[in-house]
Structure 1
Amino acid sequence: MPNVQKTVVKKSHKFVIDCTAPAGKIVDVAAFEKYLHDRIKVDNKVSNLGSNVVISKDKSKIIINTTIPFSKRYLKYLTKKFLKFKQIRDFLRVVATTKNTYELRYFNIGDSESQE
């Protein structure tokens, strides 16, 4: 039987967290990037990113590139935890806009008051 070489293709995933609306006003994007860098777990260890997970910042967006299986829901969890840590969870919410993108939006408080 001839030797068959298996080629393993690593899928890369790209996730984006868009902080455009509250950037500069409420949310410090650099602090959020550092928070993610310090809190993301790889192989059940914190700050074990290596070359598997790359976090970068582009103005008011945070881009996470991974070569390992990674959950988008985990990013939402960490984002909500960061908002709670900064005590701004009451003003912002995390909304999925596309398959690989989350966006921070303000709650629509004015609309609910006019309906009552």
Structure 2
Amino acid sequence: MTNAAGSKGGSAKVLKKPAQKKKYIIDASTPSRDKIFDSAAFEKFLHDRLKINGRTGQLGDIVAITRSDDHKITINTNSHVFSKRYMKYLTKKFMKKHRIRDWLRVVATDPQSYEIRYFNISNEVEEEEEE
């Protein structure tokens, strides 16, 4: 009988990958300057709602959430406990709760960051004027 390593007999050695450090950035500078998006409330929302191992509010030393002066929220994690998509989900949930989801959207700018932008409604207004 062969084991997981493909050799006969003996025990298979399982190599564990070292813990990966991930850094996610959510840039809310544009709507925050216009006083539509409250980055301090969003930071608190993330602290309260972020689930680690199925539990909310227990970030411990696994996850660190910081907010910079230019309204960028940085989420540092010591292990791969959640995905970037989960950050987008929580951001959209926050915007829906504060009734700003109709004006703002979450756009990926690079593999580690999101940016909160306004919907481009100027094209829709021009199309209505042409008809």
TM-score, normalised by the number of residues in structure 1: 0.90
What is the total number of aligned residue pairs between the two structures? 111
The range that moved more, 66-75 or 87-96, is 66-75
SS in 2 for 1:81: helix
Question: Relative to 1, partners in 2 of residues 1:58 and 1:44: Cα closer, same or farther, differing over 3 Å?
Answer: same
Quote the sequence identity (%): 50
> Once superposed, what is the RMSD of the aligned Cα atoms?
1.4
Structure with higher RCO (Cα < 8 A, 6+ apart): 1
Partner of 2:7 in structure 1?
none
1:37 alignment partner in structure 2? 47
Tell me which residue corresponds to 1:84.
96
Return structure 1 stretches of 4+ with deviation > 3 angstroms. none
Distance between the aligned counterparts of 1:8 and 1:73, measured in 2?
22
For 1:23-102, list aligned pairs within 5 A: 23-24=32-33, 25-59=35-69, 60-69=71-80, 70-102=82-114
Task: Give the residue type in structure 1 aligned to 2:20.
Answer: K
SS in 2 for 1:22: helix
- Residue 23 of structure 1 aligns to a residue whose secondary structure is helix
Three-state SS of the structure 2 residue aligned to 1:27 is coil
Superposition deviation, residue 8 in structure 1: 6.1
* Structure 2: stretches of 5+ with no match in the other structure: 1-14
Whichever residue aligns with residue 27 of structure 2, its letter is D
2:30 equivalent in structure 1: 21
SS in 2 for 1:93: strand
Give the drift of 1:112.
1.6
Q: What is the TM-score of this pair, normalised by structure 2? A: 0.80
Q: How far apart in 2 are the matches of 1:31 and 1:91?
A: 18
Residues 7 and 72 of structure 1: is their aligned pair in 2 closer, same or farther, counting only changes over 3 Å? closer
| CA deviation vs aligned residue, 1:14-63 (integer Å, no higher than 9, x gap) | 00000011014101111000000000000100011110010000121000
The DSSP-based 3-state class of the residue aligned with 2:79 is: coil
The alpha-carbon distance between structure 1 residues 23 and 67, as it changes in their structure 2 partners (threshold 3 A), is same
Q: Give deviations 1:77-110, integer Å, cap 9, x for gaps.
A: 0000000000000000000000010000001111
Alpha-carbon separation, structure 2, partners of 1:48 and 1:93: 28
